[in-house]
Structure 1
Amino acid sequence: MKQVTKIDSHFVWDRFVRVFHWSLVSCVAFNYFFLHDGKTFHQWVGYLAVSMVVARIVWGFIGSRYARFSDFFPTPSRVAEHVRQVKMGNHSTSLGHNPIGALMMLGLMTTVLALGTTGWMQTLDAYWGEEWLQNLHRYIGNALIGMATLHALAAIVMGRMERTHLIKAMITGVKERW
């Protein structure tokens, strides 16, 4: 049996970030897999998801250190340097989000906002019953599930590469490296 020694441990993600993350996962999963009929409960879960993303954006400016966009915003130079380091086999651990993870997080939040917008538009008289809008909403929902799946797989792969417990960290807030 392989002996695992914990060599590093840091509190990274605060309670707000963790509750936001798992609540958004729940909203997306419920609406996509169980409540995809567009009825009232589907709409309210969608509005809740959008509200949570808006709250997370605010938290990105006023929240704790690792929740702030200034700590992890994926500038082109940060992304390029991260990709270069990974290609070289240097899998150093970012305490917060690494630049690629930050891109994915921002992409996921943007997609939730787009999904909420197209869903809301379908309730307006001007767009009621518009097939193109329904199709766009469905396409964005499918894209969101694809991105979320990629995000989860990347968390597992990067956790192994960086030798960190990324999934556990999003539950406990503590990022451990062994």
Structure 2
Amino acid sequence: MTDLPVNDGVIELHPDSPLRRAALEVEQHVAEAGWDQAPRLFALVRTAELVARQPALADQVGDGADGSFTPIEQEGVPAEDFEDALTRLTWPDEVHGCAAVIERFMLPPDAEGDPATHPDRQEVRLVAAVLRSGGSHSAVRRRGDGADSDLLEGPDLVPGLVALLDQTLAAEA
């Protein structure tokens, strides 16, 4: 078995990139508020473009010379039927990508019954980030007893959520 590189509790499965950093920033931001949260949605804008429009933000977000993206949380996203709401969402051209965070229950492959009450369920936080120009990064964290588990990350960990977010960027605004 190959050992995976671990950096500050994060198992690294994907090389560093501005999209990866944005996805991990979103996960960390949401994690600070704990568990049992409603789904959350973020627009990803190029930091350099944001600072060009609002120079006062440079102290908070940097200058964007590294190609970074700044996540901007979207208000008013319905928690009920979040995935269905994503199918009707479009973004303006100024939005270069988006990220979503949802919590779900997962069951072992052979388990049957209601995931919310099954004794073998695992609660997870799923993060997906995509760019209009292509590319995705995702992260999964399992809720643990006392301390949360390591963060698993890579481009294809939550393909369904990635596909939904891709559709929001492909739609005509």
TM over 0.5: no
Flag the structure with larger Rg: 1
Structure having the higher helix fraction is: 1
Instruction: Give the structure with the higher percent strand.
Output: 2
- Structure with more relative contact order (C-alpha pairs < 8 Å, separation 6 or more): 1
User: Structure 1 length normalisation: TM-score?
Assistant: 0.29
Q: TM-score, normalised by structure 2?
A: 0.29
